[in-house]
């Protein structure tokens, strides 16, 4: 199950941390790949001006993990 938690609005120059909670509701460990692709936003990673970022994690049975994607807006609108 995936539960995103983005802010409702962002203004020019704002910085936000987009969070996603992943939950494994099975009895098996699962390899998950989660990513974010953004328009009109710069993902704040070690690689500047990157338009996409992602994680690969192993989620244990009946566990959950929170992933965070920090970003800032580029233009208004």
- Which tens digits make up the pLDDT trace of 7-64? 778 888 888 888 888 999 999 999 999 888 778 888 876 565 555 678 899 999 999 9
- Residue 46's pLDDT is 59
- The count of structural domains within the chain is 1
- Residue 13's pLDDT is 82
- Residue 24's pLDDT is 95
- Residue 40's pLDDT is 82
- Residue 50's pLDDT is 58
- Name the nearest CA neighbour of 33 among 2, 63, 75: 2
Query: What is the domain range of residue 62?
Result: 2-7+15-73
């Amino acid at each position: 199950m995936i539960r995103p938690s983005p802010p409702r609005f962002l203004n020019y120059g704002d910085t936000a941390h987009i969070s996603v909670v992943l939950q494994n509701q099975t009895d098996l460990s699962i390899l998950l790949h989660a990513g974010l692709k953004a328009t009109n936003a710069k993902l704040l990673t070690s690689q500047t001006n990157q338009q996409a970022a992602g994680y690969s994690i192993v989620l244990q049975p009946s566990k959950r993990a929170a992933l965070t994607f920090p970003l800032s807006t580029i233009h208004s609108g």
